[in-house]
Structure 1
Amino acid sequence: MQCSYLDAGACRSCTLMGVPYPRQVAGKEERCRELLGEQPQLQWLPAVRSAESGYRNKAKMVVGGTARRPTLGILDAAGRGVDLRRCGVCTPGVRAALPVLARFISRAGLEPYDVPRRRGELKNVLVTESPDGELMVRFVVRSRGPVAAMRRELPRLLRELPNAVVVTANLLPEHKAVVEGDMEVPLTERTALRMRLGGVGMDLRPQSFFQTNSAVAEALYAQVAEWVDEVAPATLWDLYCGVGGFALRCAAPGRRVLGVEVSEEAVRSARASARTAGLRDVRFLAGDATRFALEADEAPDLVVVNPPRRGIGADLREWLERSGARHVVYSSCNPVTLAADLAAMPSLRPVRARVLDMFPQTSHVEVVTLLERAG
């Protein structure tokens, strides 16, 4: 993949750009194998590859420049905007939306936030595309001040960008290095983006996590569902469940499924998806996954964990090690913490593993493992 931004030195986020794609995948596989170590019982399945470009369904664009001439991309070392609206790893739908959103910013007079001077309103624009081509657009602003102008210009935006079905203003008043705030102001009637993968529909609301590569996410859900059906648990927990991708995909007649997620927004989305699908044996709870497990009266037959990069942590891995769960499926975006967690759970042996290249052109990787209790 060729990138004019990388060639010009404007952006260096894609650290593997220029490395032939087969070598990228082979390198990620080799690293994951080394971290998990030699284990005779462990079968490695062929890696799942991605499209090399146009795969990223979500763009997190920092807004710089001026309201009249905004930049959408990143900030340089001096806090000046660097425009990346033609970024090749974003889906074509996201790339097509960015110039339209830049014009909307100008018409609404949304002054970009000047980080060094701490002035201005508009900090970021977040765009997510569903597999059906619909968009969720979120404008991260410091206050409610610009909302009236955004509402005034919204009808024209929706005419120019009719696939933008969810538009919001997210409020982030603090001066700190985070992407979004806690409060969301809906600007459209719809407040959730429908993400359809493998026949399962999920409602994605603002502030809910979803995998950034839809095609590889579908392969990940399918792989986990295949392993789950193979061991046929009667009860299953999906911890760190997000909007319920694993829980919904693993539902089956006679199987009781429970998803636990700290984000109440994500849980609302997951519950709505389960209702729409008519899945009566799939429930979702809002709460801390580790605390839920520690306070539970008994363990399920199988536990799915999909933690953030830091891993599941000492308390949850100790609970899993001594629990009665016969199987664990661990999906990880950080093979370093995955290896550390597995080393602390010696009675749960990895028997299957697969690398999924969720993030081409970067060193990041997703790896999923099926663990089986020894004895």
Structure 2
Amino acid sequence: MKKGEIYQGIIERVEFPNKGIVQIEDKKVIVKNGMPGQHVKFMINKKKGSKVEGRLLEVLEHSYLETRKPVCSIFPECGGCMYQTMSYENQLEMKAKQIQSLIDQAVKAGGQVDEQGNPDYIFEGIKGSPREFAYRNKMEFSFGDAYKDGPLTLGLHKKGSTYDVLNALDCKLVHQDMNEILKCVLEYCQEQGYDYYHKMQHVGFLRHLLLRRGNTTGEILVNLVTTSQVEADFEELKDRLLSLTLEGKIVGFLHIINDALSDVVKSDEMRILYGKDYFYEEILGLRFKITPFSFFQPNSYGAEVLYETAREYIGDTKDMTVFDLYSGTGTISQILAAVAKEVIGVEIVEEAVLAAEENARLNGIGNCRFIAGDVLKVLDGIQEKPDFIVLDPPRDGIHPKALPKILEYGVEKMVYISCKPTSLARDLEMFLEKGYRVEKVCCVDQFCQTVHVETVVLLSYKKPDGHINVKVEFGEGEGKVPLDNIAKRAESYKPKERVTYKM
């Protein structure tokens, strides 16, 4: 096989996250963006040793799993969805198998096997989202064009493309309110003749439309992200937005200036054009204030399932000090606060920590403390020792230098919540190496129609054989212990654990 060659084949299975496996004679080729059973045409675009990757060119025959019609106008070209023509039941089954395979490999590599050599832990399957569509409470839409020098578009990137942006006027992952707002903003910007930001040339005005909508409250925050290259007055756009007929209510319209060279949604300056720069969302009876860049689970309905599962895995934390590492806006911390002595949350994003503190006050919770900083550094300065640890790291998992510090606490149980199972599987090998074992695992699907899934893992630690090694010096001189006194002293010492005396 050589780069540029074109082949055809059937995707036999899909490994996490979206690696379709096509067998061509004795070669295994990874073809992304497909689903099991599809007959596809692809071009070899990467080859390194025995590893071969192909770029999907065309689906020649649909999969036997594609049992329903697309629900939006730009599927399958749009990169926002992957599996909407597959039944939700089959999506869940496929994701569960993908994650179980990854955890199995990690557990076996760590030597946690039964007498037959099989992975020795409980896999509890997958829990679906209460809503399959219109579940996202946050969406970052991009400005661009669908083809080079085409008309202005606003929506989601074309599958496999860094540049082409498709109009997502009928996206089904979000509430219809968001689609109405997107359409209004796009039409206004087209009328004004605004150009989008060209990433390679670093010129242009429009960058992103960041929309956030409380699933339970219906409150909407509209954030228009541009460069500073044009001075614009959005008063008319504000009036148009506020006159829209929506199920929810726009509580804030913000103009965010971002002159960063990289294609990220961030703020150099924020201008409030209407209302306020936050909205509220409710989960499990708690109320949370959310700002434009606050981390918050993008599926509030699925988040309740996720946190209920985590709470079940955590169990009884009465009179315990709990560390919530990578705590975000403190959702887990506040859920645990009612059944713990104290919860200490650590989060690197200072804005999220401020939001967590405010949310705790909002919910009348007094036994949560939040610290802004990198887990790697903050742990050195915390005097308290945890009885339980909850981990909910970003997609890349736990920093390799932070993980040993976490393991040094030697707590009997931990719960690890992961949004990227490959990072989780990597970290689990270190846990197993240091004496932890995987007790049980459950997946929670917060990202229906996509390749992503959350995973909750309960880990337990059994301290080594219970021996305490005591170094005893004996002989003559001050502070020395005569040898014939050792037996008497050993008899009078009644430790809770067995003692080994080495001389």
Q: Taking structure 2 as the reference length, what is the TM-score of the superposition?
A: 0.68
Once the two structures are superposed, residues 171-209 of structure 1 have per-residue CA deviations (whole angstroms, 9 ceiling, x without a partner) of 211332223334333333422121101101111112111
Tell me which amino acid in the other structure corresponds to 1:136: L
The partner residue of 2:155 within 54, 58, 73 is 73
> Which residue does the alignment assign to 2:78?
11
Residue 335 of structure 1, CA deviation? 1.0
Choose between structure 1 and 2: higher strand proportion.
2
Quick one: distance in 1 between partners of 2:390 and 2:170?
37
The partner residue of 1:230 within 316, 330, 341 is 316
Contact 1:60 1:127 in 2 (8 A): yes
Moved more, 192-201 or 106-115: 106-115
1:362 corresponds to 2:450: yes
Contact 2:386 2:411 in 1 (8 A): yes
Residue 246 of structure 1, CA deviation? 0.5
1:44 corresponds to 2:123: yes
Quick one: distance in 1 between partners of 2:397 and 2:319?
24
Quick one: distance in 1 between partners of 2:441 and 2:195?
48
> Which residue does the alignment assign to 1:56?
136
> Which residue does the alignment assign to 2:3?
none
Q: Which has the higher contact order (CA 8 A, sep 6+)?
A: 1
Residue 78 of structure 1, CA deviation? 8.8
Change (3 A) 1:187 1:237: farther
Three-state SS of the structure 2 residue aligned to 1:250 is helix
Residue 125 of structure 1, CA deviation? 0.2
Contact 1:193 1:204 in 2 (8 A): yes
The partner residue of 1:27 within 81, 88, 94 is 94
Quick one: distance in 2 between partners of 1:179 and 1:199?
30
Tell me which amino acid in the other structure corresponds to 2:267: G
Change (3 A) 1:324 1:118: closer
Quick one: distance in 1 between partners of 2:387 and 2:372?
21
Once the two structures are superposed, residues 259-301 of structure 1 have per-residue CA deviations (whole angstroms, 9 ceiling, x without a partner) of 1111111111111111111111112121112211233334311
Change (3 A) 1:323 1:362: same
> Which residue does the alignment assign to 1:351?
439
The partner residue of 1:99 within 179, 183, 200 is 183
> Which residue does the alignment assign to 1:374?
462
Change (3 A) 1:188 1:236: farther
Contact 1:320 1:345 in 2 (8 A): no
Quick one: distance in 1 between partners of 2:210 and 2:153?
14
Give the alignment of 1:1-375 within 5 angstroms.
2-7=70-75, 10-37=77-104, 42-50=121-129, 51-64=131-144, 70-74=152-156, 79=163, 81-105=165-189, 110-115=194-199, 118-131=202-215, 132-143=217-228, 145-146=230-231, 149-151=233-235, 153-160=237-244, 163-232=249-318, 234-252=320-338, 255-346=341-432, 347-375=435-463
Quick one: distance in 2 between partners of 1:104 and 1:285?
43
Change (3 A) 1:164 1:256: same
Quick one: distance in 2 between partners of 1:307 and 1:244?
13
Moved more, 99-108 or 357-366: 99-108
Contact 2:318 2:340 in 1 (8 A): no
Quick one: distance in 1 between partners of 2:121 and 2:451?
24
Three-state SS of the structure 1 residue aligned to 2:234 is helix
Contact 1:331 1:366 in 2 (8 A): yes
Change (3 A) 1:345 1:136: same
Once the two structures are superposed, residues 107-136 of structure 1 have per-residue CA deviations (whole angstroms, 9 ceiling, x without a partner) of 776543344554321110011111211111
Change (3 A) 1:59 1:78: closer
Larger Rg over CA atoms: 2
Change (3 A) 1:233 1:87: farther
Quick one: distance in 1 between partners of 2:354 and 2:289?
9
Once the two structures are superposed, residues 72-125 of structure 1 have per-residue CA deviations (whole angstroms, 9 ceiling, x without a partner) of 113565945421121122233322332233345457765433445543211100
Three-state SS of the structure 2 residue aligned to 1:343 is helix
Tell me which amino acid in the other structure corresponds to 2:97: E
Query: Kindly, what percent of the aligned residue pairs are identical?
Result: 29
Quick one: distance in 2 between partners of 1:365 and 1:243?
20
Quick one: distance in 1 between partners of 2:205 and 2:322?
45
Moved more, 101-110 or 243-252: 101-110
Contact 1:6 1:12 in 2 (8 A): no
Contact 2:78 2:157 in 1 (8 A): no
Residue 325 of structure 1, CA deviation? 2.2
Three-state SS of the structure 2 residue aligned to 1:94 is helix
Residue 35 of structure 1, CA deviation? 1.6
Quick one: distance in 2 between partners of 1:329 and 1:19?
32
Contact 2:205 2:229 in 1 (8 A): no
Tell me which amino acid in the other structure corresponds to 1:169: H
Tell me which amino acid in the other structure corresponds to 2:136: R
Residue 10 of structure 1, CA deviation? 3.3
Quick one: distance in 2 between partners of 1:326 and 1:233?
15
Quick one: distance in 1 between partners of 2:408 and 2:261?
44
Quick one: distance in 2 between partners of 1:209 and 1:330?
18
Three-state SS of the structure 1 residue aligned to 2:282 is strand
Quick one: distance in 2 between partners of 1:183 and 1:241?
26
Quick one: distance in 2 between partners of 1:215 and 1:343?
32
Contact 2:79 2:156 in 1 (8 A): no
**Alignment: residue pair count:** 371
